Amino acid sequence: MQAQAPGSAGTASGRPDYRWKRPQFFTNPFVRWGVPIAGLAYLVWATSTLSINWNRVAAGIPRAGRIFSNAWPPDFSRSNLIISGFTESIQIALLATALGLLISVPIALLAAKNIMPRGLHWFGRGIIIVARSFHPVIVAIIFVKAVGLGPFAGVLTLTVYSLGFVGKLLAEAIEEIDEGQVEAMRATGAGFIKVLAYAVFPQILPRQVGLSIYQLDSNLRASAVVGVVGAGGIGGTLMNSFRRFDYDFALAILLLIIAIILVSEAISGRLRSGLS
Amino acid sequence: MELSIENLTKSYGRGKPVLSGLNLKVDGSGITSIIGSSGAGKSTLLRCINRLIEPDSGTVRLNDVELTALKGAALRKARRSIGMIFQSFNLLDRLTVMENVLAGRLGYVNFWQASSRRYPQADINRAYELLELVGMEEFVNQRASRLSGGQRQRVGVVRALMQQPSILLADEPTASLDPRTSLQIMELLQDIAGNLGLPVIINIHNVDQARTYTDRIVGLRYGHIIFDGTPADLDEAALDAIYDGKDWNEEPEEPGSGNGGPTGSSSGGSRSTRGSGSSGGKDTKRELEGARA
């Protein structure tokens, strides 16, 4: 074979060059140009209607500087408030994770269409969709209205959050299992529950453990957030300190939140790498 | 033991029926092989027997029990007496060999025994004996996912035998195995059919293996039985009919296994040389015998 110089006309067999171009994602040229133009136009319109006031932005910068200078150095002196707040947040996170994981297993089973009769799986799917439709802060507002201020509302909020997330991913894991094992267990004369115990649970166990660690991690962060709307924990303390312009106390809380999240990240990372 | 299938019909969706009015009787011991091209309905037929697939109409009777009329607990009880082994082994990958084998007893033990792995002593003894029979006794606590294909299928066979079945269904048990290992599995099934007196129905792609190891061959095409006879009866004309005149001999012939149709007498002979099969697990020995067979 004789190597040909790039750009040479004709192939080795004497035919003219073949032509090949990557197929366009949008074959219609109107769509190909219209989509980015429309996107850009929307961004311009959205920016103009949100009435972004550059004077306020300019005034905000020195104000932010003042807040930060007031906040420094962070004030850790009110340690009893800090400790009780964080203890409550961690309690909320742990309780909600345990509850959420417990409830998510039956709901995931209910939502998996390969093991549930058609129609019935929409019931489980529906619970998951409802649990996932709202951000935890909105759920927390609802629960605070329902059961009053305090950590109980926080536990309920994060339980809903956990069962939505873990339930969805677990249901997907169940739908991806190797059906051959299920078939083999049915062939031995095993009933539904025994088939679950032998052919389904062992297959989803590694996924379940990984999800549990992730969810605990996630609930620790979220427990600080839901406190802001009155669902207990350190978030409430943080909100109060802002309201009273105690910026140095607020900074202390923020730094501790970062520290706790770093620690939980490290622990969960270690656990996860130990699993695989 | 008698299995009789009458007028069995099954179709998926609104398409052409996979099985249409199929009749088949299997009695006594020995291996019955079912051959036919892909999509001829072999797997569906097998799964209609233990009702992993629900037939549309027709009856399946095992020892005067009408399997097609059973529901719930009665069906599960009937399934215990029908062992099944699979093309892709279908072992519980994340569980140990022993857990897989004991899973064959799931139809007998209660949920507490099953989930806490507290099986009756008799089951554990039987598991060890059968694992020794197939040469897998050293792997009891190994995870199934770490076994080779041949080892997995032997565990699959032991799991089926744990059910104390009165019939064994094998759905292309050698199709995922290399040629040498698949001969070992065929010999194992021959042992089981001969020494344990257990009838085996086997779906098989490999016509040579069907001829060498089985006592009766049933040819399936478009959901109908178009051939039923001994390996000696299976001539070119019959194969052309079963496989639609296409080249049926896809796989290269094993040395010495393709010469004519050995009948019951020759397989009986090879069985007796191997004795009770207690030494059957030694791979090298099996290989030698596989080459000789």
Closest-CA distance, B215 to chain A, in angstroms, reads 25
Of residues B29 and B215, more confidently modeled: B215
Chain B segment 30-59 residues within 8 A of A by beta carbon are 50, 52
pLDDT band at B235 (very low <50, low <70, confident <90, very high): confident
pLDDT band at B80 (very low <50, low <70, confident <90, very high): very high
Closest-CA distance, A127 to chain B, in angstroms, reads 29
Lowest mean pLDDT among A149-163, A223-237, B107-121: A223-237
**What's residue A7's pLDDT?**
60
Determine contact, residues A182/A195, Cβ cutoff 8 Å.
yes
CATH topology of domain A79-275: MetI-like fold (1.10.3720)
% of chain B beyond a pLDDT of 70: 83
**Residue contact A181–B104, C-beta within 8 A:** no
**Residue type at A41 in one-letter notation:** A
Q: Touching check for B95 and chain A: CB below 8 Å?
A: yes
**What's residue B284's pLDDT?**
39
pLDDT band at A104 (very low <50, low <70, confident <90, very high): very high
**Residue contact A185–B106, C-beta within 8 A:** yes
Q: Is the pLDDT of residue B24 over 50?
A: yes
pLDDT band at B28 (very low <50, low <70, confident <90, very high): confident
Q: Is A233 left (phi over 0), alpha (psi -120 to 50) or beta?
A: left
Closest-CA distance, B183 to chain A, in angstroms, reads 23
Across the A/B interface, how many CB contacts are shorter than 8 Å? 79
Q: Is B247 helix (H, G, I), strand (E, B) or coil?
A: coil
Average pLDDT over every residue of A60-78: 83
Q: Is the pLDDT of residue A229 over 90?
A: no
Q: Widest CA span of chain B, in angstroms?
A: 56
Average pLDDT over every residue of B213-242: 89
* Crossing angle (nearest 10°) for helices A79-111 and A234-243: 130
Q: Is the pLDDT of residue A225 over 90?
A: no
**What's residue B248's pLDDT?**
56
Which pair of structure tokens corresponds to residue A267?
């622990």
Q: Is the pLDDT of residue A3 over 80?
A: no
Q: Is the pLDDT of residue B250 over 70?
A: no
* Cα–Cα dist B49/B46, whole Å: 5
Highest mean pLDDT among A24-33, A40-49, A67-76: A40-49
Shortest CA distance to B26 belongs to which of B162, B198, B160?
A: B198
**Residue contact B77–A180, C-beta within 8 A:** no
**Residue contact A191–B78, C-beta within 8 A:** no
**What's residue A210's pLDDT?**
87
Closest-CA distance, A202 to chain B, in angstroms, reads 6
Closest-CA distance, A206 to chain B, in angstroms, reads 10
Nearest CA in chain B to A179: B90
B143 contacts on A by Cβ (under 8 Å): none
Q: Touching check for B70 and chain A: CB below 8 Å?
A: no
Q: What residues of chain A have any CB closer than 8 angstroms to a CB in chain B?
A: 178, 180-181, 183-191, 193-194, 197-199, 202-203, 205-206
**Residue type at A63 in one-letter notation:** R
% of chain A beyond a pLDDT of 90: 38
**Residue contact A185–B79, C-beta within 8 A:** no
Which of B90, B101, B111, B123 is the best residue to mutate to test the A interface, defined by the most A CB atoms within 10 Å of its own CB?
A: B90
What is the residue extent of each domain of chain A?
79-275
A206 contacts on B by Cβ (under 8 Å): 94
Closest-CA distance, A204 to chain B, in angstroms, reads 10
* Cα–Cα dist B145/B152, whole Å: 8
Across all residues in chain B, what is the average pLDDT?
83
pLDDT tens figures, B151-188: 999 999 999 999 999 999 999 999 989 999 999 999 99
**What's residue A237's pLDDT?**
87
Residue B235: CB atoms within 10 Å: 11
Query: Within its chain, how far is the Cα of A209 from the centroid?
Result: 17
**Residue contact B94–A205, C-beta within 8 A:** yes
**What's residue B116's pLDDT?**
92
Query: Within its chain, how far is the Cα of B184 from the centroid?
Result: 13
* Cα–Cα dist A195/B92, whole Å: 11
Determine contact, residues B290/B187, Cβ cutoff 8 Å.
yes
Which of A176, A181, A185 is the best residue to mutate to test the B interface, defined by the most B CB atoms within 10 Å of its own CB?
A: A181
Is the complex ipTM higher than 0.85?
no
Q: Encode chain A in three state secondary structure.
A: CCCCCCCCCCCCCCCCCCCCCCCCCCCCHHHHHHHHHHHHHHHHHHHHHCCCCHHHHHHHHHHHHHHHHHHCCCCCCCHHHHHHHHHHHHHHHHHHHHHHHHHHHHHHHHHCCCCCCCCHHHHHHHHHHHHHHCCHHHHHHHHHHHHCCCHHHHHHHHHHHHHHHHHHHHHHHHHCCCHHHHHHHHHCCCCHHHHHHHHHHHHHHHHHHHHHHHHHHHHHHHHHHHHHHCCCCHHHHHHHHHHCCCHHHHHHHHHHHHHHHHHHHHHHHHHHHHHC
Average pLDDT over every residue of A94-119: 92
What single DSSP character describes residue B198? -
Contacts of B142 (CB under 8 A, 6+ apart): B96, B97
Across all residues in chain A, what is the average pLDDT?
87
pLDDT band at B7 (very low <50, low <70, confident <90, very high): very high
Can you tell me which residue has the tokens 């996170």? A93
**What's residue A273's pLDDT?**
81
Peptide bond into B55 cis (omega under 30): no
A180 contacts on B by Cβ (under 8 Å): 86, 88-90
Q: Touching check for B94 and chain A: CB below 8 Å?
A: yes
Closest-CA distance, A187 to chain B, in angstroms, reads 6
**What's residue B166's pLDDT?**
93
**Residue contact B52–A185, C-beta within 8 A:** no
**What's residue A24's pLDDT?**
77
**What's residue A261's pLDDT?**
86
Q: Is B201 left (phi over 0), alpha (psi -120 to 50) or beta?
A: beta
Nearest CA in chain A to B157: A184
Q: Is the pLDDT of residue B69 over 70?
A: yes
**What's residue A66's pLDDT?**
84
Average pLDDT over every residue of B8-19: 87
* Cα–Cα dist B19/A274, whole Å: 51
Nearest CA in chain B to A204: B94
**What's residue B249's pLDDT?**
57
pLDDT tens figures, B32-56: 999 988 888 899 999 999 999 999 9
pLDDT tens figures, B85-98: 999 999 999 999 99
* Cα–Cα dist A102/A268, whole Å: 20
**What's residue B163's pLDDT?**
95
> CA B220, B222, B224: angle at the middle one, nearest 5?
50
**What's residue B279's pLDDT?**
38
**What's residue A6's pLDDT?**
57
pLDDT band at B101 (very low <50, low <70, confident <90, very high): very high
% of chain A beyond a pLDDT of 70: 96
pLDDT band at B137 (very low <50, low <70, confident <90, very high): very high
Which of B80, B88, B94 is closest, CB to CB, to A189?
A: B80
Lowest mean pLDDT among A23-32, B187-196, B226-235: A23-32
Q: Is the pLDDT of residue A129 over 80?
A: yes
Tell how strand B200-203 and strand B31-35 pair up: parallel
* Cα–Cα dist B155/A257, whole Å: 53
Q: Touching check for B96 and chain A: CB below 8 Å?
A: no
Sign (positive/negative) of CA torsion A152, A153, A157, A158?
A: negative
Determine contact, residues B82/B200, Cβ cutoff 8 Å.
no
Which of A178, A187, A193 is closest, CB to CB, to B50?
A: A187
A184 contacts on B by Cβ (under 8 Å): 84, 86, 90-92, 103, 156, 159
* Cα–Cα dist B45/B27, whole Å: 17
pLDDT band at B74 (very low <50, low <70, confident <90, very high): very high
Average pLDDT over every residue of A91-113: 93
Determine contact, residues A32/A24, Cβ cutoff 8 Å.
yes
Nearest CA in chain B to A201: B94
pLDDT band at A242 (very low <50, low <70, confident <90, very high): confident
